[in-house]
Chains A and B, each alone.
Chain A
Amino acid sequence: GAGVSQSPSNKVTEKGKDVELRCDPISGHTALYWYRQSLGQGLEFLIYFQGNSAPDKSGLPSDRFSAERTGGSVSTLTIQRTQQEDSAVYLCASSNSGQETQYFGPGTRLLVL
């Protein structure tokens, strides 16, 4: 079946603008995760959804970052007033119930100028 998809694949924005990143998980997967991959910090966890609720937001780096999930499926990660240090690859993963293997999407490469 179809894997995790993310859009856009690349995004270039100007400092101070808001961006939205989208993740479509594998159909039927109840758990969804966002991670960030950057040169300085490696791969780091941002937020976890179980269904539409987010019981773990501990990785969000500031209040400029938010995420939501609707219908237990699609998730959107929003970054407000982007800064240059937000430049990174944002990866989404999904799993069945959060107790099993996470499957990753191809990522969105964000560049803030």
Chain B
Amino acid sequence: AQSVTQPDIHITVSEGASLELRCNYSYGATPYLFWYVQSPGQGLQLLLKYFSGDTLVQGIKGFEAEFKRSQSSFNLRKPSVHWSDAAEYFCAVAFLQGAQKLVFGQGTRLTINP
């Protein structure tokens, strides 16, 4: 069955430090890949997506992600985090056929130390 794994439930980094959030998926082919962010009490906001083409994708708020087919990974990175980046981050995949419903990882909660 298709699945998405975010190994880190909670990460704490200092403001200004670099960030990498991990995401691995299990799927028979290359799916569509997404990163969403959720601030407390809010809905999900799309950070970036990968459908095809260049494996390094740029998103909003200075985030980027790299698709690595050989590792079935789509890790999210940011060179220098800001206190406003504190939130929960979800990796998701969509099937290429049919409804294209999203399958989500369990999320990574990011805390920023001042």
Contacts and interface: CB of A to CB of B under 8 A. Distances in A.
Interface of A: 4, 31, 33, 35, 42-45, 48, 50, 55-56, 59, 91, 93, 95, 98-99, 101-107
Contacts of B90: 43
A48 B99 contact: yes
A91 to B, nearest CB: 6
Given A101-B34, A101-B46, A104-B43, A42 B106 contact: yes
**Contact residues on B (Cβ < 8 Å of other chain), bracket:** 20 to 34
B49 A101 contact: yes
B101 A48 contact: yes
Contact of B104 (A42, A50, A101): A42
Taking each of A50, A55, A98, which has the highest tally of chain B beta carbons within 10 Å of its own beta carbon? A98
Nearest to B104: A43
Looking at chain B's contact residues, is the secondary structure mostly helix, strand, loop, or mixed?
Answer: strand
Contacts of A35: 102
Interface string B37-50: 00000111110010
B100 A99 contact: yes
Contact of B43 (A31, A42, A91): A91
Nearest to A105: B43
A59 B101 CA distance: 10
A91 B101 CA distance: 13
Contact of B103 (A31, A45, A99, A104): A45
Contact of A55 (B42, B44, B99): B99
A35 B44 CA distance: 11
A99 B49 CA distance: 13
Given A43-B90, A56-B98, A56-B99, A106 B104 contact: no
Contacts of B100: 31, 95, 98-99
Contacts of A43: 90, 92, 102, 104, 107
Given A104-B43, A104-B44, A33 B34 contact: no
A36 to B, nearest CB: 11
